[in-house]
Amino acid sequence: MAVSAIIAAAGSGERFGAGYPKALIQLGDRTLLAHAITALAPVVDQIIIAAPTGFEQQITELVGDDITVVSGGSTRSDSVRNALAVVTSEFVLVHDAARALASTVLAQRVIAALRSGNSAVVPGLVEVDTVKSIDSKGRVTSTIDRSTLRRIQTPQGFSTQVLRDAHESGKDATDDAALIELLGGPVVVIDGEDRALKITTPADLNSALGFLGFNQSFRTGIGTDAHVFGAGRTLWLAGLQWPGEVGVEGHSDGDVAAHAICDALFAASGLGDLGSNFGTDRPEYADASGAALLQDTLTLVTKAGYVISNVTVQIIGNKPKIGNRRGEAIEAISKALGGAPVSVSATTTDGMGLTGEGKGIAAVASALVYKQ
């Protein structure tokens, strides 16, 4: 008995306020839509996405050829109807891209309930708050017995024929089961899960990050470094050698960008600083390359239980000109940091100070890390 999955992803995400569709918002390492696909793909035979108008092409490229993309409608129900038209299986799951973290196990339980003879199955959570009805003036009209309430989630599972009949009405509802209820059809509630929360606002995204296990303990750190130019020295900067440029004095190769990043990473991880880890009392670090220091910093940061979220470094000096080699610099630093996201920028100081007077180079860096 084959199962199709419809992912309703055509909303504009007004309440989230990103300025682009919510399904394309990044959550950890992938978009909300990609999370939803990852969860459903192992347990369904066909996936159909209702995409926001104008984003069909972009989403098709994102999801690959095995997934069908249709244009969404102006309401969620319209979007589901558009997708339902191309469903080929006997059973269908309807899922919100906004419930990105609903698990494969939940989808499996919905499918199992369909296979055991139910024609409409929805996951739900018990209500923990007291719920009251109010009138238009905000006056309470009744307190509802919360033990009879369930907060309904997706994926919802249906016999495809039953869902098609329900959508014949062309009506709108905030979920699909409601259309079946209107016809008096039976709908069964099974246990939902907290991680299937609907991501509506940026605060919800933060809760979702909690389920992925990495928003609890982000920490930032900053670092700076400066070295004076030294005649006859080779210049190393941002993990690169700079032929034809004047080098700088210093213990190690004097790579101010690398050193500032190491300092920022140590600070973020609460591990002291460059001096306390690789200081002049550690002869093995004399003339160490910036890349080697970055690698050893990564080892210490990882040992302390942190993962690098990203680092950024700004190089301050009249020369060398960074722009042409920015890509190379980012690649070199990122490689030394195990592939961490890196930004490199540069600036001058209007002729003022050590770097402005052309006496040397400085760098300021920031790092963001999180507990594994």
The binder of ligand CTP chosen from 3, 5, 6, 23 (CB under 6 A): 23
Residue type at position 218: F
Q: Which of residues 164-223 bind ligand CTP (CB under 6 A)?
A: 198, 200
Q: Is 79 in the site for ligand CTP (CB under 6 A)?
A: yes
The binder of ligand CTP chosen from 3, 22, 238, 240 (CB under 6 A): 22
Cα–Cα–Cα angle for 9, 155, 199, nearest 5°? 55
Q: Which stretch binds ligand CTP (CB under 6 A): 11-19, 59-67, 126-134, 231-239?
A: 11-19
15 makes contact, choosing from Mg ion, ligand CTP, none, with CB < 5 to 8 Å by partner type, with ligand CTP
Q: Is 12 in the site for ligand CTP (CB under 6 A)?
A: yes
The binder of ligand CTP chosen from 3, 6, 10, 34 (CB under 6 A): 10
Q: Is 15 in the site for ligand CTP (CB under 6 A)?
A: yes
Q: Which stretch binds ligand CTP (CB under 6 A): 16-24, 86-94, 129-137, 310-318?
A: 16-24
340 makes contact, choosing from ligand CTP, Mg ion, none, with CB < 5 to 8 Å by partner type, with none
223 makes contact, choosing from ligand CTP, Mg ion, none, with CB < 5 to 8 Å by partner type, with none
The binder of ligand CTP chosen from 74, 88, 217, 345 (CB under 6 A): 74
The binder of ligand CTP chosen from 3, 69, 72, 258 (CB under 6 A): 72
Q: Is 11 in the site for Mg ion (CB under 5 A)?
A: yes
Q: Which of residues 34-53 bind ligand CTP (CB under 6 A)?
A: 50
CB of 107 to Mg ion, least distance (A): 22
The binder of ligand CTP chosen from 34, 63, 94, 98 (CB under 6 A): 98
Binding site for ligand CTP (CB under 6 A): 8-16, 22-23, 50, 72-76, 79, 96-98, 198, 200
Binding site for Mg ion (CB under 5 A): 11
